[in-house]
Structure 1
Amino acid sequence: MTAMTPGSNLPLPVARVAVGVTAPVRLDVSGLLLTANGKVRSDDDFVFYNQPAGPGVTHSASAPGGGDTITVDTAAVPADIDKIVVTASLDAPGATFAGTEPTATVRGADDGAVIATFTPPRLGTETALVVVEIYRRGGAWKVRAVGQGYANGLAGIATDFGVSVEEPAAPAAPAAPQMAPPTGPAAPLPAPGGVQAPPVPAAPPAAPPAPAAGTGKINLDKGRVSLQKNQTVSLVKGGRPLLTSVKMGLGWEPAFRGKDIDLDASVIAFGVDRKKIDNCFFGKLSILGGTIQHSGDNLTGEGGGDDEVITVHLGGLPPEVTGLVFTVNSFSGQRFTDVAKAYCRLLDAGTNEELVRFDLTNAEPRTGVMMAKLIRQFSGEWEMTAMGEYVDSRTVRGMVKPAGKAL
């Protein structure tokens, strides 16, 4: 038996596995069958207590004191299904996972032998989790520990993966009765395709805080996006996630004529647990099997266009890479108040079309800045967020800790 950590994976020794999820409180456990684009094919691929069977995947309710189980028969999973994610949500309305650590136990479905266990760490305001996933890789099946949380319950996970889920309708004004209302607890409305969605927990009575200035999320459907600090763009165009190769161009100019500025652009790759997997910079121009490549060092910042370019093959990144943070450092110790027109921009590497731009303003007298981050969502798409957060560090090594905290 192996105790897994976030992002770790293991080969499955048997074709049929059962994933049970237990906790000190009642959980609702479900399984979603996802294609290579990170979405279900239809609502039939959502397996939970109201729809306990799907192609190659079944749900079984818990016995007293136990947890619900998702059983996967990998030999019966359709060929166009890339992975099955196993999720858990809290049954009590308004409850969070803070102080409640669920444990997933992966067993052989036929002999009951324990293959692995996983307990997600550092849980807080999450009300639902993607706990583990069973996925194909090179003709074989593996299990990966995930532990990623959602604040809007199982309905949030379901809609993120493409399931049509309708929340219960708000009470309407009295009208002539059409039919007798159901007795007992309020029933959720059936979603399209006949799936009766799990009830959505009631929101807390206090109104949520207004979003901070500059925040919000958009996609690429309307062309190039200009981001402000802390704003996020989903790298989706026409409903399809961008999984081709992209370039992150970083540029700057001296604030004072005749003064060279030697800045270094880098990217740090992180896993689910926010631990560094590798970093790419002028001293290490290719990492992760060539899926991330650096153009080389620019010593002055002179010349038009991007000063340094980092190419990322999004579709080829190892699955354990879930976050990328792009940084710029002043190796010679000059402060960013000596820099003008610092920016980063994301381009389609195939067409050189500019997709996203972030112009850095209000420089601080420090030697390092986190320009932007790319985060892989569990639906498979990537999101880019403009950061513009300054730190005191002349090398990428000193950026790892603050970058991990910023993910």
Structure 2
Amino acid sequence: MFTLAHIAEVLGQPVLGDGSLTLHRAAEPAVAGPDDLALAMSPDYADALNAGQARAAILWDGADWESFGLRGAILVPRARLAMAGVTAALDSGPRMNIGVHPSAIVEKDAIIGEGAAIGPLAVIGAGVRIGARARIAAHVTIAEDALIGDDVLLMSGVRIGSRVNIGDRFIAQPNAVIGGDGFSFVTPEESGVERARKTLGDQGDISEQRWIRIHSLGSVTIGDDVEVGANSAIDKGTVADTTIGRGTKIDNHVQIGHNNRIGEDCLLCGHVGIAGGTTIGNRVVLAGKVGVNDNITIGNDVVAGGGSDIYSRVRDGEVVMGSPAVKMETNMAMYRALRRLPRALEQLASLRAIVMKKGLGDGNDDKT
């Protein structure tokens, strides 16, 4: 349970009406009951709020809260920011007991910080150091010599590879894999892929080839306040570490290849794939299903639209879209032209028919 005054304090906004109202949960306005906090932070929710039975609500800035029959309200200027505050205040996270579960396996020289919780069937390798108040859920494995910061949350099934270095307040959702080997192989002789890349399509003489692994001697270094979604993977570097900067957020099913260097406060959405050796600046946003080529540079403050394929350098601040990715205004012009193409072809066919008919007619007139 919580009070309306507590939520107002979290949001840094004044309470209008009765701040002592005790509430049980947040709810959508149409289904909110007397003990629920209705979230109606846009005028679009006015009718739904009237349909519900809430006594307290968070409303949009400037709302006439008393007209909805409420006993208390909080007005917020930015809905999604308020949502972040409310959900953080009401989410207690997974319930875990401090200490090491009897079924967990912890190597003798591993160091577990004060107030940490190690869940059932977790495996903590030799030389691992886990920070204070970290929460390690069931079936998590942390390989040898990994360093895990304070207040980290590793959800069930997370795999942390050897020598991985993770900062404070890191969150990994179920089955994320941090520090698997990079996907790096070579052939004894120049491969058809290498020749095709040099010649832009010609493999030369086709011959048998076999792949030899290039091992990953580096690991992964992750800054503070980074989050990684479920089933995402970040590969080790070949010699130096793959690095993820402070504050970067990574969605589900994201693949980050070996030797990548990703900056601070980036947002990588679902199904993004980044090939090896690429450098990405700060505050970059890659929307869903963006693919990034290997060994290129993406500058600071770049935004890439969903489904884009980035094959070459992108400069600071550019907004790109398409495959291959180009500036958004160029992509939109190309798309408009593509939509006009069927009609343009029809017009061209009509014009051709007219010209042909006129040409044949002139020829017949000459003969007579």
TM-score band by shorter chain is under 0.3
* Structure richer in strand, relative to its length: 1
* Structure richer in helix, relative to its length: 2
Structure scoring higher RCO (CA < 8 A, sep ≥ 6) equals 1
TM-score (norm 2): 0.22
Q: Which has the larger radius of gyration?
A: 2
